[in-house]
Structure formats: C-alpha cells, structure tokens
Structure 1
Amino acid sequence: MYVSVARSAEAIERVIPKPLYVESSIDQHHTALCINRLKFLNYSIHYSSIRAALSLIRVEILRCGDVSYLVVVPTLNEVRAIGLVIDEILSQGIPRSRVIVVDGGSADGTREAVVSRGVRLVDQDGVGKVSAIKTAARLADGVDYIVFLDGDYTYPANYIPKLVEVACSKGYDLVIGARKSIEPGAQSPLYRFGNRFLTTVFNLLFGTRLSDVLSGMYIVRADVLKELDFESKGFGIESEIVSHIVSQGHKVHEIPIEYRKRVDEKGKKLKIFHGTRILLDMIRMAWRYNPTFFIFTLGSLALVAGLPLGLYVAYHYLFTGIKYYVKGLIAIILTLAGFQSLLLAILSLYMKRMEIRILRELRKTRGNHTSNLIISSNT
C-alpha cells in the first residue's frame, strides 16, 4: 500500500511539532524557511516507512530552526565605531546574549561603549587578531556556529541572518562574506590589488576558486574552528581558517556583501608589511596542508633545468665528440630528481584525495549517528 506523505505545509505542521526552543524572531524565521522548503514534498513511500520519513523531516526542521550561534566582534581601540556595530547587530533581532565583543586591550573608551550597551565583553588571551579568534573558539562551547565581523563598522551586520541561513540550510562549514560592492574610498588601489593578489596565490596553492579569502566577515562551524592550531600571526588567521577547512574536505561557500569606509581612518591597523606576513603564512600553510603544489613545482624546475642540459651534453657527445662529464652528471641528477618529484607529487595528490574521502565518510557516519539519536529521543 502506498500513500502520499507531507503534501502541504499544513500537513507537516500537523504531524510534526515545531521546535520547543525558539529564542528570537530570527529562529522563527529559520523554522518558517524550513517548513516552506517542505511545502512541495510529495514522497510516495511504503506505509511502513512513513514514521521514518516524518522523523527525518523533524530532524531537518531541528537543524535549521534550532541552530545556535554566537556573533563575535574582535576589537581594539574602536570607540567611534563599536557602538554603531553593536547597535546594527541588535537591530537584526539578534539577542544580546548571542553577541560577544573580544577586546585586545583598548584604552580609548571602547570597553565602556560595549558595557553601556549590555553586551558581553571578554578580554582576549594574548595580542593580535589571532588571539581574539582563539578566545572566541574557547568560549563557543555548545554552539553550532560563530559569526565574525570586525569592529570598525566596515562590514554591514544586516548580512548576519543571510550567513546563518546559508550555512545551516546548505550544511556549509564556512561561509565567507565576499566584498563585492565596495564603497568609494573604502579601499585604496594598493589594498585592493594586494587582496586580489593574495587571494589568487591562495587559490593557486590550495586549488580553490574563492574571490575574497581575507574577508573579516564570515560564519564558521565552532567544532571546525576548534581544530585549528592557530599558528598564524595577526591578520593571517583568516587564511589559516580557510586553508584548514578546504584541506580537510569541509564545505566552503561565499555570498556577496558590501564593504564600507571606516568610521575612524586613523585607527586603521592593516599595513603593507602585514600583506607580506600573510603571504608567508599562506605558503607555510600550503606546505603543511597541501605539499603537492611545492613538490610538483620543484620537480618541474628540476626537469626544466635537467632535460635541456642533458640534450646539450648528448648533442656535443654525438656530433662534436666533446665529452662534458660534470655537466652530464648534473643533467642526470636533475632529470632523475625531477621525475621522482613528479611521481611523489602524484602519490601525494592521491593520498590527499583519499584522506578527504575518508574524513567525509567519517563525518557522514557521525552525522547519521547524531540523527539517529535525535530520532530516538523524539519517538
């Protein structure tokens, strides 16, 4: 006997109770989105499978409706901007209990501005932005996602609900707010060139197609963030987060956002030498997470040098009778090293792909186990 299950949103709401915990209007919005996504479900399944199907639908609603997240704002001496940032976050219907400002030792009244708005203020462990991110990861116990945005009012907080929606509905581990619409004067030509250059280098090293790897506004799964070793210095933390996530087979996505001018141009912290440091951090992360590129490059360089030299030695030996013993030995060494490096690069690539497949299967198995626990608790 076959029946039709969940033909309409009303039928779903009748047979499936709504999530018990709805903290704010944003949570209600996500629950409504999930129910609307189920409007057109029209499964024809065996009668004995109806209960399992409804349980799976229940899990889908729980995943989107009850997603928990924190909004973390790293800041340092941003007294003119931090109040605007907090007010804009709260205007999105996000409760104060979900907002944390991680301060790096401000001495200009930033701390007082945060406290006056009833938002939690936390002193970061150490100095630099990487310490602020590390502190946020430590505070994120029992939280699914963490939303980060800088405290200089350059990133509009009205994109936070969109980040949360995309991350939870699609199952992404990282969603980056890519700066597509930039306010005139918000970025100098040199800064814009540097950002594009570093993003291009990152895409080359890690085989990605991202457009803004250094954006300061993004949402990341809390458990994935806690896997990091936090080896970068300063502003290189964003590239470390992305490099870890893409190298471990996690899902990454981008959404376009706007980028505004700073409220206080004097407080701008990103300098030219920071770009060099970020580039070095990217190279170090690539050597750690994806050595295939370097092995392939070294092998190619050895072949480019060894093969022409070998042909030169062979030509003179065959047609002029001149014997270049040292050059011939160098050509043989370079050619053999090049071929061995290319073979090693192929093997490394194969092992990396196998590692990613294994990690994905392990996560899938763990996710199915969690879903079974939720289903058991609801039946």
Structure 2
Amino acid sequence: MESKWLTIVIPALNEEDAIGGTIRRCLDAREEISHQAELDGIEIIVVSDGSTDQTAEIAQSFEDITVIVFEKNRGYGAAIKEGWRRGRGDYVGFLDADGTCDPRFFAALCETAIVENADVTLGSRLGADSQMPVIRRAGNRGFAFLMGLLCGRKVTDTASGMRVVRRNALKHLYPLPDGLHFTPAMSARALMNHLRIIEIPMKYEERIGESKLSALRDGIQFLKAIGEGVLCYRPEKIFLSGFTICMLMILILAAYPTEFYFQNHRLEEWMIYRFVVCQFLGSIGMALLLASALSTRMACMSSRREDFVGFWSSNISSLFTGKPLVVIAGFLTFLGLGFLWPGIVEFISTGKITLHWSRVIAGAFTLFSVLQISIFVVLMKVVEIWSYEQTSLEKKSYKLNQVERINIGESSLENDLYVVEPDSRVMK
C-alpha cells in the first residue's frame, strides 16, 4: 500500500506570544491526526518570515520539527510555499500561528481529502461558534459572493487559514502570490480549474497578539487575486458579467419608451436621452461580448486551462466564429441601412434630413456594431496565426528532443556508459 504523509507548515511573523502554544498543540495532535486519517507520518515545518522578535528562537527550542528562517520578510504565501517545497508530504497543509485554529482539525481535513478524493479541503471559519470579528466576517461573505458570481462555484470562506492540499494538485494551483492574498488566489484557481474543493465548518478562536491584516490594503489585494485568477483561467466570465449588466440596464431604461410607443405609436422628445444611453450601453455590451469570445480563444491556447467550458462561454465561442458571425454581421448591416436608408434618399433628393432621431440612433448603433465585429474578426485571425505558430514550434521542439535522446542513447551504448537518473520521488 502506498504511504501517505502530511506536511504541516506554520508561517509566522512576529508571533512570539502564540508560536510556542501552536507548535505544542500540533505535536500533541499528531497521533490523533495520524490515527483518524490513517496517515503514515506527519512532519511540522515552521517558517519564520523575517520575524524581529523571539519567534524563530522559540520555534527552534522544539525538537522533531523543522524551522526555516527568512532573514527578511518575504510574505505569508512565500513562507507557505517554501515549507511545501522542502516538505515530503503527499498532502500539504498549513495553519496560522496565531492560535485561532485547532491543529486537531487536520484529522477531519485529511480524512475528507483521502476518502472524498478532494484536491483541496479547507476549514470554514464562518460557522456558528466562530469568534471572527464582524467586519472580517462580512468581508469574507462579500468575497465569497463575488467569487461565486465570477466562477460559477463558490466557497463560503475564500481566505481560510487552515487547509490541506493534495500535492499533485499544486501544478494546477501554481503560480500563487507571496502575500496575504495567497489564500483567496488559491480558492479562485481551484474553482476556475474545477478542482474538487470541500469545506468543513471549524471552530475559530480569537487570535493571540496583533493582527497583520489591513482591511483596506489586503481587501484590495484579495479582490486583485480573485480577478487575476479569473483572468488566468476563465477571462470570459468577467466580460460576460459586464455584458449581462449592460443588457439589464438597457432593459430597464428602454422598458417605458417601448411601452409608450406601442400604446401611442410615437415617442416623446425627452426620450432621446434614454436612447443615447441605451446606444452607449449597447456598444459597450457588444464590445464585452466580442471580448468574451476572443479571450476564450486566447485562454484555450494555454496548456494550464482545462477543457471544460461553461454553457454560455461555449455558445458564444461557437456563435462568433465562421458562418454564424457572417450571418450576424450581414443582418446588422441590413438592419442599419434599413433604419438610415430613407434619410439617405431624402438627403440625396432634397439636401435635407427629416428622419426621426430614433432611427438615426438605431442605425448608428447597428453599423457601429458591424465595425466592432470586423475588428474582432481581424483580431481572431491574429490569434489563430499565433496559435498555429505556437503548435508548430512545440511539435518541432518535441521532434528535436526525440532526436537528441536517440543520439545520446547511441553515444552511451558506444562508450558502454549508463546514465542512472535519481528517483524524483521523495523517499519516505
């Protein structure tokens, strides 16, 4: 049977009041964690992230743990990643050093990860017995709502500081940032990559010592991390969200003028302002829709993107390619000229235009949309050329590597030399 080890990393920055208790609780919990999750071993790694107090010295006073000391502060995420890099666990986890999390909870996290074959298991700090401050609780719920909106899936605690990750899932999560936004970035990438992520409610206690979290600065970083995660894997989500907002605003603004027209067969002059705004929003919406299709094609060039594509993304990508796109452009051109043709004929005949402003606005919008589609076609062609060249280079590189391996093999046989590569797996 294959062995199963867990690496627990404790990132610590000036946590001299809490680090000793956290390490002691981890050491005391090892047997319980190993027994419940049926692990073969647990290693504990403490990373002092540029601490200027006694954090490193206190950690080094404990036996049977590894202590890594950064001379300068490199960041919360950097400390965790370094601990994971040096660890040998098949499962890697971390918990904050401030005493807020109970190390015994790793038993439930590991058991769930193994039994449910989860890539990421995390402890949700938003349960009934959580002592999280109200402001941070509200912020976490807000980030969770935003992430769910953009990703199509959600977790309730996007920034949980206690998690277990299957090591072979790290290739789908990296690169991850070095700062405190390490955790929401991981959540976003896990959701975007459709990794199996499971939450378990856990007890969360009030921290020991002063918090390093800045609500404004780190909140902005959290938003940035979520946005970058979406742009990296599912950029069309952001553009489609913007398109949906534009369409909803157009429906709201156009509802009354439309009803008025069907009842009275005319439009009031003051309604021109609504039409102009609707034209503006419609142009933005069309740009966002085309950007969604283009970004989907660009994202598919990346080997890091999974094959799964959502319902709307798939339909938009197919709609704005080939014949469907020609049909759309042709229809809009015909529609735009239909709106403006009476005015064009009148101007040529009489030198004047009495065409109603609503037809001018509608015609201008449809013809501008045709221009946007034309630009989109050119950009899509550029992306296709890049994609073809990239594929050709990869195939050429692969063939060269194969030839080099054959030549090296022949040379080795001629000289009776055998190259033995070390096993890349970590020995338990």
Q: Report the TM-score, using the length of structure 2 for normalisation.
A: 0.58
The 3 A distance-change label for structure 1 pair 158 and 304 is closer
Q: Quick check: which has more Rg, 1 or 2?
A: 2
Give the distance between the partners of 1:182 and 1:114, measured in 2 at CA. Answer: 33
Tell me if structure 2 keeps the 8 A contact 1:224–1:245. Answer: no
2:95 alignment partner in structure 1: 149
Match of 1:282 among 221, 226, 230: 226
Are 1:161 and 2:104 matched, yes or no? no
Match of 2:247 among 300, 303, 307: 303
What letter corresponds to residue 121 of structure 1 in structure 2?
Answer: V
CA deviation profile, 1:106-129 (whole Å, cap 9, x unmatched): 122111111111121013485111
Are 1:84 and 2:21 matched, yes or no? yes
2:215 alignment partner in structure 1: 272
Report the count of equivalent residues.
Answer: 292
Unaligned runs of 5+ in 2: 35-40, 310-428
CA deviation profile, 1:33-53 (whole Å, cap 9, x unmatched): xxxxxxxxxxxxxxxxxxxxx
Tell me if structure 2 keeps the 8 A contact 1:146–1:222. Answer: yes
Give the distance between the partners of 2:207 and 2:273, measured in 1 at CA. Answer: 62
Tell me if structure 1 keeps the 8 A contact 2:74–2:178. Answer: no
Give the root-mean-square deviation of aligned CA atoms: 3.8
CA deviation profile, 1:243-268 (whole Å, cap 9, x unmatched): 1112112100011111111222xx21
What letter corresponds to residue 269 of structure 1 in structure 2?
Answer: K
SS at match of 1:258: coil
Identity of aligned residues (%): 26
Tell me if structure 2 keeps the 8 A contact 1:72–1:102. Answer: yes
CA deviation profile, 1:139-174 (whole Å, cap 9, x unmatched): 24x531111100111100111111111111211000
Give the distance between the partners of 1:321 and 1:190, measured in 2 at CA. Answer: 48
Q: How far has the Cα of 1:79 moved from its partner? A: 1.1
Tell me if structure 2 keeps the 8 A contact 1:249–1:357. Answer: no
CA deviation profile, 1:66-125 (whole Å, cap 9, x unmatched): 212201101011111111111111112359960000110112211111111112101348
Tell me if structure 2 keeps the 8 A contact 1:300–1:342. Answer: no
Q: Report the TM-score, using the length of structure 1 for normalisation.
A: 0.65
What letter corresponds to residue 120 of structure 1 in structure 2?
Answer: T
Are 1:138 and 2:85 matched, yes or no? yes
Larger RCO (alpha carbons 8 Å, 6+ apart): 1
2:166 alignment partner in structure 1: 221
Q: How far has the Cα of 1:312 moved from its partner? A: 5.5
Give the distance between the partners of 1:358 and 1:187, measured in 2 at CA. Answer: 36
Give the distance between the partners of 1:81 and 1:116, measured in 2 at CA. Answer: 14
Are 1:120 and 2:66 matched, yes or no? yes
What letter corresponds to residue 107 of structure 2 in structure 1?
Answer: P
Give the distance between the partners of 1:334 and 1:188, measured in 2 at CA. Answer: 40
SS at match of 2:7: strand
SS at match of 1:99: strand
1:1-379 matches, cutoff 5 A? 19=1, 62=2, 66-93=3-30, 98-118=43-63, 119-124=65-70, 127-140=74-87, 142-181=88-127, 186-230=131-175, 232=177, 234-264=179-209, 267-273=210-216, 274-304=218-248, 308=253, 319=266, 334-335=281-282, 338=285, 341-342=288-289, 345=292, 356-357=306-307
SS at match of 1:70: strand
Tell me if structure 1 keeps the 8 A contact 2:240–2:292. Answer: yes
